[in-house]
Amino acid sequence: MRRQRWYTPYLLVLPGVVWVFGFALWPFLNTVVLAFTDARPLRPVSFVGLANFQKLFDDERFVYAVTTSLVYVLVCVPLLTFLPLLLALLVHAKIPAIGFFRTTFYFPVIASAVVVAIVWEFLFSGSGTVNAGLKFFGLVDRPVEFLSDRWLLIGCAIGLTVWKGLGYYMVVYLAALGNLGRELHEAAAMDGAGRWRRFWSVTVPGVRGPMMLVSVLVCVAAMRIFTELYVLSNGSGGPGGRAMSMVMLIQSMGKGLNGQVGYASAISLVLFVMTLVPLAVVGVVNNQDLIREGAAERRMRRAARQVTRTEAAA
């Protein structure tokens, strides 16, 4: 049943393939090569081996950037794994006007990070609403400079990321909750399981797969963080650039005529390896059963062989 010319499918996928090669694989290979050079704009390029990577360890900006990104990951992953699940449970019920709530909870997701970061900047600036509130309740005498302290700035950015991400991951969970039957809930309730117990023993195991997916997505997204920190610090990366994320460092290293393209590529490569870690962990965890089964099977086979051997000997 093939009434098309043999080349039709190839023509159809050609644009996609060209784009993937031109704007994903080629730049990636280029990054790998550049990471071992001292490339700068308008200058001859020469290979420098691992010099860029050696430089990384002595570069305190890189250490700060990695620290920022890792703290971001450590705080964001638990928050954005559980809070959206609770939110999804909240909007999962079929009650009147729930569609309105779902839609508005999604607004922060579709708004540009720049726009909401500017709002955040107003809220948390020295004269901003949050400080006015703190003063109103008499908690502080002098305004807290949220945006010019390294950790407070990172905290504000994390708050922004969590607030903006809630709706996105809520939708991921919603799709999963739709597939979760009510029978288990009813059976558990019959056995006298309370609401809290059912959440931990029915809902959470039921959405285990999506939960893994969400925590990996959050993990990778947190490592790629850029806009929030950039806008909140006005592009400076906080005091002394110590609140820079890795992507901010890449961007600031690679830009302009003095850009250290080779060095920026080396940082990019480190970032890439870091984003692969959570994926690898999930791969191992998901295939744990397979691995264990494989091991068990091998043990069984060996035992069987031994049995036959002893029988043959006897």
Partner 1 sequence: MTLIRTRRSTTTPPTDPARPAALRRTDRPYRGGGSVDLMKPTLGGLVGKYGVLVVMLAVMVFPFLWQLATSLKGATENIYEFPPTLVPQAPTLDNYREVFRTIPVLDYAWHSLLVGVGTVASNLVFATLGGYALGALRFRGKGIVMAVFFSTLLLPGEVTLTSQYLTVKSLGLANTLWGVFLPGAVGAINVLLMAAACRMIPSDTLDAAIIDGANTWQRLRHIVWPNVRGMASVVALFAFIGAWDDFLWPLVVLSDPAKYTLTVGMQYLSSNFAANPRVIAAGTMVALIPIIVLFAVLQKQFFRGVEEGSVKG
Give the x-and-dash track for 246-275 against partner 1 (CB under 8 A). Answer: -x--xx--xx---x-x--xx--xx-xx--x
**Among the candidate windows 58-66, 67-75, 110-118, 294-302, which touches partner 1 by CB under 8 A?**
110-118
Q: Please pick, from the candidates 43, 45, 60, 122, the single residue that binds partner 1 as defined by CB under 8 A.
A: 122
Encoding tokens for residue 310? 């002893």
CA dihedral 253, 259, 262, 266 (to 10 degrees): 10
Using the rule CB under 8 A, is 123 a contact of partner 1?
Answer: yes
Using the rule CB under 8 A, is 28 a contact of partner 1?
Answer: yes
Between 51 and 199, CB nearer to partner 1: 199
Give the three-class secondary structure for 47.
strand
Between 13 and 303, CB nearer to partner 1: 13
Using the rule CB under 8 A, is 129 a contact of partner 1?
Answer: yes
CA dihedral 243, 249, 251, 256 (to 10 degrees): 110
Residues 288 to 307 in contact with partner 1, rule: CB under 8 A = none
Between 67 and 236, CB nearer to partner 1: 236
Give the three-class secondary structure for 243.
coil
Using the rule CB under 8 A, is 67 a contact of partner 1?
Answer: no
DSSP 37: B
Using the rule CB under 8 A, is 220 a contact of partner 1?
Answer: yes
Q: Please pick, from the candidates 45, 50, 63, 279, the single residue that binds partner 1 as defined by CB under 8 A.
A: 279
Residue 32, classified by CB atoms within 10 Å of its CB into exposed (0-12), middle (13-18) or buried (19+), is: middle
Using the rule CB under 8 A, is 201 a contact of partner 1?
Answer: no
Using the rule CB under 8 A, is 200 a contact of partner 1?
Answer: no
Place of tokens 């950790």: 151
We find the least distance from the C-beta atom of residue 106 to partner 1, in angstroms, to be 7
Between 95 and 314, CB nearer to partner 1: 95
Q: Which long-range contacts (CB under 8 A, 24 or more apart) does 92-96 make?
A: 92/174, 92/177, 92/178
Using the rule CB under 8 A, is 76 a contact of partner 1?
Answer: no
Q: What are phi and psi of 37, to 5 degrees?
A: -125, 170
* Positive/negative CA dihedral, 89, 155, 236, 269: negative
